[in-house]
């Protein structure tokens, strides 16, 4: 168990997960007050270390390629940008540590949490509800093909990414990796208090062409999350 709050200038996963929820404040500061472009290669490496996953050369090449791709934000997205990626990545890893996930699933959690919105356009195409998720899958397959793919594993990755489309979340997914990813994806906008939640809602509304107030979007979001009982907010509160 780590007694050090920061590791390579990044919040220590083991420190935070072992002291949760009292340590939530440190993660909040890192998410909402650190605006530097994150080093995703360093982040993913530390996440895998916390999950006790032994990284080999091919893993590091893959992580480097994915990290470079996710650090690109051509569309200057307000919500689905590299700060959202780092939040989902770290929260997913904390949940995985607390859940004592096995090593094979640990690697998938880090890969999917980092890349689930890779190449996001910053705007929803309302007539094509899964357009963004399918675009991410196509981009991800090009990178993963050499390193990771087998039929069963790839079908699992595709299903989880498609299910991150919030309006069509499955109510009771049986896949633990999927539960963790979907939880972390929405938790990053909710678990750090209403003030931060409203801030994230104000950014999200620009991307989804929402015409109402940010407060209404936030409240609807919280209500919907509570209705979907599979989301493990008890572990994050």
- Structure confidence by residue, pLDDT tens digits, 62-108: 999 999 999 886 567 889 988 899 999 999 999 999 889 998 899 99
Domains and CATH numbers, the chain: 6-235 (1.10.1300.10)
Give the Cα separation of 52 and 102 in Å (integer): 9
- Structure confidence by residue, pLDDT tens digits, 158-184: 999 999 987 666 666 789 999 899 889
pTM more than 0.85 = yes
Q: At 211, is the pLDDT very low, low, confident or very high (cuts 50, 70, 90)? A: confident
- Structure confidence by residue, pLDDT tens digits, 4-44: 777 777 888 999 988 888 888 999 989 988 888 899 999 99
Give the Cα separation of 26 and 56 in Å (integer): 30
- At 88 the pLDDT is 95
Q: At 61, is the pLDDT very low, low, confident or very high (cuts 50, 70, 90)? A: very high
Better-scored residue on pLDDT, 186 or 160: 160
Least confident of 96-105, 119-128, 228-237: 228-237
Give the Cα separation of 168 and 142 in Å (integer): 26
Quote the mean pLDDT of the chain. Answer: 86
Give the Cα separation of 158 and 136 in Å (integer): 9
- At 230 the pLDDT is 46
Sort strands 10-11 and 6-7 into parallel, antiparallel or unpaired: antiparallel
Better-scored residue on pLDDT, 216 or 73: 216
For the chain, the C-alpha Rg in angstroms (whole number) is 17
Least confident of 114-118, 203-207, 219-223: 219-223
Task: Kindly list the distances between the CA atom of residue 119 and the CA atoms of 58, 103, 125, 204, 210, in Å, as whole numbers in the listed order.
Answer: 23, 27, 14, 16, 21
Q: What mean pLDDT is predicted for residues 52-69? A: 92
DSSP string, the chain: ----SEETTEE-HHHHHHTTTTTHHHHHHHHHS--SPP-HHHHHHHHHHHTT----HHHHHHHHHHHHHHT--TT--SSSSHHHHHHHHHHHHHHHHHHT--HHHHHHHHHHHHHTTTT--SS--TT-TTHHHHHHHHHHHHHHTTTT--HHHHHHHHHHHHTTSGGG--SS---HHHHHHHHHHHHTTTTT-HHHHHHHHHHHHHHTT--S-HHHHHHHHHHHHHHSTTS-GGGT-
């Amino acid at each position: 168990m780590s007694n050090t709050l920061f590791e390579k200038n990044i919040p220590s996963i083991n420190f935070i997960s072992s002291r949760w929820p009292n340590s939530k404040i440190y993660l909040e500061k890192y998410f909402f007050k650190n605006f530097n472009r994150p080093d995703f290669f360093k982040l993913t490496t530390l996440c895998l270390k916390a999950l006790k996953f032994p990284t080999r050369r091919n893993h590091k090449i893959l992580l480097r390629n994915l990290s470079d791709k996710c650090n690109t934000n051509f569309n200057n997205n307000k919500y689905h940008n590299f700060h959202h990626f780092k939040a989902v990545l770290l929260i997913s890893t904390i949940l995985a540590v607390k859940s004592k996930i096995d090593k094979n699933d640990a690697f998938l959690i880090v890969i999917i949490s980092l890349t689930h919105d890779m190449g996001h356009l910053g705007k929803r195409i309302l007539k094509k509800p899964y357009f963004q998720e399918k675009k991410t899958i196509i981009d991800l397959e090009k990178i993963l093909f050499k390193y990771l793919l087998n039929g069963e594993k790839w079908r699992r990755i595709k299903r989880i990414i498609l299910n991150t489309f919030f309006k069509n979340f499955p109510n009771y997914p049986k896949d633990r990796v999927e539960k963790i990813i979907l939880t972390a994806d929405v938790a990053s906008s909710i678990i750090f208090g209403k003030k931060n939640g409203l801030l994230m809602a104000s950014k999200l509304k620009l991307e989804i062409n929402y015409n109402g107030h940010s407060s209404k979007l936030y409240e609807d979001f919280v209500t919907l999350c509570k209705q979907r009982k599979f989301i493990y907010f008890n572990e994050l509160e």
